[in-house]
Each structure stands twice: as C-alpha cells, then as structure tokens.
Amino acid sequence: MPQNNIPLVSVLMTSYNREKFIEESIWSVLNSTFKDLELLISDDCSSDNTIEIVKKIASIDSRVKWHINEKNLGDYPNRNKVASIAKGKYMLYVDSDDTIKNDAIEFAITNLTEKPTAKFSVIYPFEDIKAPTLLNPYDSLRKHFFERSFLNLGPGGVVFDRLFFLSNQSYSNQYGPANDLYSHLKFASKGDALLLPYRYLNYRIHDGQESNNKYAYLYLNQLVIRDAIKEFELPFSKNEKKRILKNKSISNLFSIIRYVIKYKKLRQGFNAFKKAKFILADFI
C-alpha cells in the first residue's frame, strides 16, 4: 500500500447473514494479484456469525475494515453507505456470497488506467467484442438498447471511478432489485463506459438472493425503463424513445402473462400489471 495509506482501489462488500459464504468471498479478494486495495465490509445487522468471521480475518489482514450499521438499511442503501467511506480512486463491489478470480481487479484496473476518460467498466459477456472497448454515452446507450442489453448486470460486474459514482447520486433506492439497471443507465448517460470481455465474477446462485424475486421484476422493469427514458439524457430521437418503450412494454407484459400461466397466480399477475402502471401510450 502507498505511503500515504490511501489505496488505489476500494473493494466494497455488504453483508447480511452470510456466514455460509462470506469467508470465501473475502479471501477471493485478499488473494488477488492486485494488492493496493482496502476491503470495506458493511454489515447490515446480521443475526448469525457473519461479523465474527469478518473480525477474525481482519485480525490477520489489516486491509480488511468493517463496521456494523446501527439499524438494517437494506441492500442498496447499505451499498451507498459503504461507498461513502471508501478512499480509493476506483471502487468495486464484491458481494458477500460471490467470489472473483484472482486476476480480476488487476485486469479491470489495468484497462481502466489505460483509458483515462472511462468513468466505469462493465463485464461484457457477449461474443461480438473481443478486446476492452471504450464507448462514450451516445454509443454505449445505443448499443445497450439496439444491440446488446449489457447494462442490466448487478453491481458486482462494475468498477467505478469513485468520485464519478458519488457525484452522480450513487445507486438509486426506488426500484428494489432493479435499482442496478436504473442506475447503470444513469451512469452510462453521464460518462464513458469501458466494456471488458472477461467474466471475472463468480456469481453464486442460491435461495437467499434478492435477484430471485421474480415477481418484483415483473413490474419494476417497466417502471425503470419508463423513468429512464423520461429522466436521463438518452441519445435517441422522439420516435426511437417511443419504439424502445413500446418494445419493452410488450416484453414486460408478456413476462407477466407467462408468470401467471406458469405459477397460476392470477391475482399476483393482476397486481403486477397495476404496479407497472401500463398506459395505452406505452404500446403505441
């Protein structure tokens, strides 16, 4: 770590009852080939042994710092809380139930420092890009909406310029598990994005994840796309915005219909339709 004790990278980890997974998550960060980092862990009032595991590892490696919230904040407010105390020029989230490859941070930071105008990087999982690619807001948003939907990834797939993240109001807290998509569209409208064709995140699938809330996505995805088109400076003509909203509205409506058919929950489907606030103009 540099002599001024300010690391280049802040790795942010939020936790809530993750005793089964968090030790592996922490060590995946500490064993990184990139060493100039701090690992900040914000525990959201866990009732299991999560924080005891954290304290034990912190006693071994001084790069680990932790605190416990006075009350349970919830997912995205806790993400913003830990970001507010970070010190690094760059920051990334590693969720307390995920792991990263040992060269993940080094790969992302090396490429970001080579592209000084980049404000954030994203894992790009599609085959049409073979090398790290810098896109300005115009090109990245057009690519997302008309070619590949690459901005609908979780926080663990993004590395931020910390000051850029904070100056753009951090993560939203209005859209539940869809906060990431809304916020990533916001960030993409504000700064250059670096697409990294390397899947360095090991995303663990289990029953306790908020992203498993399929019902909430039925209506939240519609609210996100409508609000993003209305609120952000998107590089589209009026007709293009209408086309995007129409296509997404049809897709979201069919998602509700499929949910009702699959789970035989007509009342929930009707409630999702109401919460999505569909209007006739969405489909014209």
For the segment 35-42, the average pLDDT, to the nearest whole number, is 98
DSSP structure class, residue 212: G
Contact 278, 222 (CB under 8 A): yes
Give 247-275 pLDDT, tens digit per residue: 999 999 999 999 999 999 999 999 999 99
4-8, 223-227, 238-242: the lowest-pLDDT one: 4-8
- List beta partners, residue 204: none
Average pLDDT, the chain: 95
pLDDT for 40: 98
**Could you tell me which residues come within 8 angstroms of residue 258 by beta carbon, excluding any fewer than 6 positions away?**
none
Helix (H) or strand (E) holding 99: strand 99-100
| SS3 assignment for 153-210 | CCHHHEEEEHHHHHHCCCCCCCCHHHHHHHHHHHHHHHCEEEEECCCCEECCCCCCCH
Predicted model pTM = 0.93
| Angle, CA of 191, 196 and 202, to the nearest 5° | 120
Give 60-93 pLDDT, tens digit per residue: 999 999 999 999 999 999 999 999 999 999 999 9
In the CATH scheme, what is the homologous superfamily, with its name and number, of domain 9-202?
A: Spore Coat Polysaccharide Biosynthesis Protein SpsA; Chain A (3.90.550.10)
